[in-house]
Amino acid sequence: MADIGSSTIIGLVVVSLIVIFTIVRITRKISREGALLTETDREKLGMQLKNLKKTWKVFRSNRLGFTGFIVLAIFVVMAIFAPWLSTVPNPDHYTNFEENRFVDGVAVLLNPLPPSLTPSSYTGLIHPFGTDYKGEDVYSDVVYGTRASLMVGFIATFISIGMGAVIGLAAGYFGRVADEILMRLTDFFLVLPWFPLMIVLMTVLDQKFIYVILVIGITSWPSTARIVRSQVLTLKERQFIERAKAIGASDRHIIGKHILPNTMPLIFANTVLLIAIAIFSEAFLDFFGLGDPSVISWGSMLESAYSNGAVAQGAWWWIIPPGAAIIILILAFSLVGNALDDVLNPKLRRR
């Protein structure tokens, strides 16, 4: 599990950057205004809270989106509490090979075992979803696989949104040459078929979990860049930007205080949809045999099922659970994404 380790390091770096950033902001604020919370801040916070409550209420009224949200919450819980929820403490090292017993001196291959709720006679463990050909518990693998999927989904999307937002902002705000160059670049990457591109990059690189995340992240940014750019272009023509410019606000101030907050809803709704695509891509790469072999994931479960003859043996329990998990997770993200799109971008709200 060494490569889960390296992505944990990235996570730690990101978290510590956020922490440092927050500390710097707080100290600067205190040195400037003498207090962390002034009266205007309190008012602003109250308004924001009220807005958030309203947004949440609209979101809740969207039945499909809310269902998706609950499903997501279940998956997150599953990922965090995987060791307690699975029947086997460490599915990667645990195998049920004792089940290959000798009957009258002949080895009888009992794996993959069909699902049953009666404990295995040898180990006393229950295999609710059966086992695969190595005797690994399918249920535990599915529970653990949630971790890889969610991790790829969140980190890869973070990378791709970051790149897309920066490029889109720069192109839309500065216009002219920057716009021309950046948009030609975006168009070029948009036209490149990205499934083959991911395959090529993964073949050229090592098969490490961290590379899977990076490759998915850096191949999926162009659509975000396009969306952000078009939003920035319409924002730039609005009056309040002109007014800010008239009182002499710097580019940095305008982008940070006016443009970015106004593109945020769009970016956020797009993020959730991109997560679904990232999870899809991860499963695809794993299934293609380009994932990290040391990480338990749904895609690699399906890959091993496919290449070890699950089809010929009719071992449906080896294919259906990870497959269903992928579908449900992607569906949940799509539902939440569409609902957020409706709530946060009311202009696009469907009639």
* Positions that interact with another protein (CB under 8 A): 187-188, 190-197, 199-201, 203-204, 276, 280, 283-284, 287-290, 302, 305-306, 310-314, 316, 319-320, 323, 326-327, 330-331, 334, 350-351
How does 110-122 read in b/e, with b if 16+ C-beta sit within 10 Å? Answer: bbbbebeeeebee
Compute the residue count for the chain: 351
Q: Which is nearer to another protein, 205 or 244 (CB)?
A: 205
**Nearest-approach distance from CB 209 to another protein, in angstroms:** 18
CB contact at 8 A, 182 and 163: no
Q: SS3 of 103, please?
A: strand
Question: Which 8-state DSSP code applies to residue 105?
Answer: T
The smaller minimum CB distance to another protein, of residues 227 and 259, is found at: 227
CB of 142 to another protein, least distance (A): 14
Nearer to another protein, 89 or 314 (CB): 314
- Nearest approach, Cβ of residue 323 and another protein (Å): 5
Nearer to another protein, 163 or 331 (CB): 331
Dihedral of CA atoms 205, 79, 164, 209 in degrees, nearest 10, equals -10
Q: Cα–Cα distance between 78 and 302 in angstroms, integer?
A: 20
CB 267 within 8 A of CB 165: yes
Smallest gap, in angstroms, from Cβ of residue 316 to another protein? 6
Rounded to the nearest whole angstrom, what is the least distance from the CB of residue 6 to another protein in the complex? 20
Residue closer to another protein by CB (options 15, 348) is 348
What single-letter DSSP state applies at residue 152? H
Q: In whole angstroms, how close is the CB of 133 to another protein at the nearest point?
A: 15
Residue 82 vs 330, nearer CB to another protein:
330
What is the C-alpha to C-alpha distance for residues 292 and 151, in angstroms, rounded to an integer?
Answer: 14
| Minimum gap (Å) between residue 76 Cβ and another protein | 18
Q: Which residues contact 166 (CB under 8 A, 6 or more apart)?
A: none
Nearer to another protein, 128 or 289 (CB): 289
Under DSSP, the state recorded for 292 is -
Distance between first and last Cα of the chain: 49
| Largest distance between two CA atoms of the chain | 92
* Three-class DSSP category at 127: strand
CB of 208 to another protein, least distance (A): 15
Please state the closest distance from residue 346 (CB atom) to another protein, in A.
15
The helix (H) or strand (E) run that includes residue 195 is helix 194-204
Which is nearer to another protein, 258 or 299 (by Cβ)? 299
User: DSSP string covering 218-261, please?
Assistant: HHS-HHHHHHHHHHHHHHHTSHHHHHHHHTT--HHHIIIIIIHH
- Nearer Cβ to another protein (126/190): 190
Please state whether the peptide bond connecting residue 261 to the residue before it is cis, i.e. omega within 30 degrees of 0. Answer: no
